[in-house]
């Protein structure tokens, strides 16, 4: 029993470690080509991300957005659907929360205002995620195409609403919300002072636990996974795959949209055009590297948040593009090596048994 647990841990952890090492070595070569010392660059990266409380809190802030969006993508992937729309879902959720926060009177107690803002974000996410699900089920429209195109539609629409109607003069953001702001973590941990990390981080962790419970402990989650593994078989066993797909996409939209509240409710207290900066796309990598497991997503989100925050700290030494190349290499290595390495493990084990 104990041995099999160890074996499972090895099986889960060794492949990513190999992939990470390959990525690090490629990074070494790149850094040397830039005429810098790898030790210096990596050291600075780690220092900037984990070496001081502020950097670490920034990592937590970035983890929050990536966890929510990554969960949305992972959940859809578990149902066999590729949700490329997290970028727009993040923005739409943030916008929904901001509008609710602006409409509510300033005196609204936080206990009422925060759930209302979250609900507004979730409702917007439900629509933006649910629409591709409905189109897929009812008309057979491929969810990849629909979600990609919806990104353009939603982001352009939000941009227009902000620029033409809702922005404060000379800026690209709305007015501040009057209610629904959540406290920053620095209010409980003074060392985090100045960081954007806020209570929505806890919401993200709760969402991960909920996703795990839903996927692996409920009939709905079972149906979702069955639909993803083998839709025909699931249909034959009495699962209504079309409905599962619609539900999965709507849920994915809700999760990604809640990620937008990290910025609006926890950080700036307004919606700003273009704040996502590609987090919704990075979240695809988070879901894949996290292997579509809710806890894997949290770890992967933390990892990519570290790369991103550490990347800021090493700008003086190497160009930003270098950090992006490194991120790309990590994603490639993780995604490509996992099945291969697993096969190698199996081969090795067979050899030992024989």
* Residue ranges that bind other proteins, judged by CB under 8 A: 7, 10, 14-15, 17-18, 21-22, 24-25, 28-29, 32, 35-40, 42, 48, 54, 58, 61-62, 65, 156, 159-160, 163-164, 169-173, 194, 196, 263, 267-268, 272, 274-279, 308-309, 311-313, 315-316, 319-320, 341, 344-345, 348-349, 352
Q: Write down the residue that tokens 């990604």 correspond to.
A: 256
Nearer to other proteins among residue 21 and residue 206 (C-beta): 21
Minimal distance, residue 227 CB to other proteins, in Å: 33
Minimal distance, residue 20 CB to other proteins, in Å: 9
- Alpha-carbon distance 153 to 160, whole Å? 11
Nearer to other proteins among residue 227 and residue 283 (C-beta): 283
Minimal distance, residue 105 CB to other proteins, in Å: 22
Nearer to other proteins among residue 9 and residue 112 (C-beta): 9
Nearer to other proteins among residue 165 and residue 219 (C-beta): 165
- Pull the structure tokens for residue 342: 């697993």
- Alpha-carbon distance 101 to 263, whole Å? 13
Minimal distance, residue 237 CB to other proteins, in Å: 36
Minimal distance, residue 321 CB to other proteins, in Å: 9
Contact assessment for residue 96 and residue 258, using Cβ atoms and an 8 Å cutoff: no
Nearer to other proteins among residue 229 and residue 336 (C-beta): 336
Inter-residue long-range contacts of 24-28, CB under 8 Å, 24+ positions, other chains counted: 26/326, 26/329, 26/333, 27/326, 27/329
Three-state SS string over the chain comes to CHHHHHHHHHHHHHHHHHHHHHHHHHHHHHHHHCCCCHHHHHHHHHHHHHCCHHHHHHHHHHHHHHHHHHHHHHHHHHCCCCCCCHHHHHHHHHHHHHHHHHHCCCCCCHHHHHHHHHHHHHHHHHHHHHHHHHHHHHHCCCHHHHHHHHHHHHHHHHHHHHHHHHCCCCCCECCCCCCCCCCEHHHCCHHHCCCCCECHHHHHHHHHHHHHHHHHHCHHHHHHHHHHHCHHHHHHCCCCHHHHHHHHHHHHHHHHHHHCHHHHHHHHCCCECCCCCCHHHHHHHHHHHCCCCHHHHHHHHHHHHHHHHHHHHCCCCCCHHHHHHHHHHHHHHHHHHHHHHHHHHHHHHHHHHC
Nearer to other proteins among residue 38 and residue 220 (C-beta): 38
Nearer to other proteins among residue 14 and residue 141 (C-beta): 14
Nearer to other proteins among residue 29 and residue 111 (C-beta): 29
Minimal distance, residue 331 CB to other proteins, in Å: 15
Nearer to other proteins among residue 82 and residue 281 (C-beta): 281
Minimal distance, residue 170 CB to other proteins, in Å: 4
Minimal distance, residue 247 CB to other proteins, in Å: 30
């Amino acid at each position: 029993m104990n041995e099999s647990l160890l074996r499972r841990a090895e099986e889960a952890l060794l492949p990513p470690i190999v992939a990470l090492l390959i990525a690090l070595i490629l990074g070494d070569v790149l850094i040397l080509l830039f005429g810098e010392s790898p030790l210096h660059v990596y050291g600075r990266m780690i220092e900037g991300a984990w070496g001081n409380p502020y950097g670490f809190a920034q990592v937590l802030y970035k983890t929050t957005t990536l966890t929510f969006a990554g969960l949305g993508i992972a959940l859809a992937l578990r149902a066999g659907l590729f949700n490329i729309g997290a970028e727009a879902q993040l923005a739409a959720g943030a916008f929904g929360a901001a509008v609710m926060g602006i409409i509510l009177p300033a005196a609204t107690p936080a206990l009422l205002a925060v759930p209302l803002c979250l609900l507004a974000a979730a409702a917007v996410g439900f629509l933006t995620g649910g629409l591709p699900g409905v189109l897929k089920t009812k008309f057979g429209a491929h969810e990849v195409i629909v979600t990609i195109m919806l990104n353009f539609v939603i982001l352009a629409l939000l941009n227009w609403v902000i620029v033409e109607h809702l922005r404060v003069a000379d800026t690209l953001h709305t007015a501040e919300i009057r209610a629904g702001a959540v406290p920053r973590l620095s209010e409980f941990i003074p060392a985090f002072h100045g960081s954007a990390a806020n209570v929505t981080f806890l919401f993200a962790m709760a969402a991960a636990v909920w996703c795990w419970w839903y996927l692996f402990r409920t009939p709905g989650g079972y149906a979702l996974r069955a639909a993803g593994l083998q839709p025909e078989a699931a249909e034959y066993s009495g699962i209504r795959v079309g409905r599962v797909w619609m539900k999965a996409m709507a849920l994915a939209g809700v999760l990604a949209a809640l990620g937008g509240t990290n910025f609006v409710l926890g950080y700036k207290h307004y919606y700003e055009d273009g704040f996502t900066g590609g987090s919704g796309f990075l979240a695809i990598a988070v879901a894949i590297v996290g292997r579509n497991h809710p806890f894997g997503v949290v770890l992967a989100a933390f990892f990519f948040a570290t790369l991103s925050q550490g990347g800021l700290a090493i700008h003086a030494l190497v160009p930003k593009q270098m950090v992006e190349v490194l991120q790309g290499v990590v994603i490639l290595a993780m995604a490509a090596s996992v099945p291969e390495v697993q096969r190698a493990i199996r081969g090795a084990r067979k050899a030992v048994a024989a």
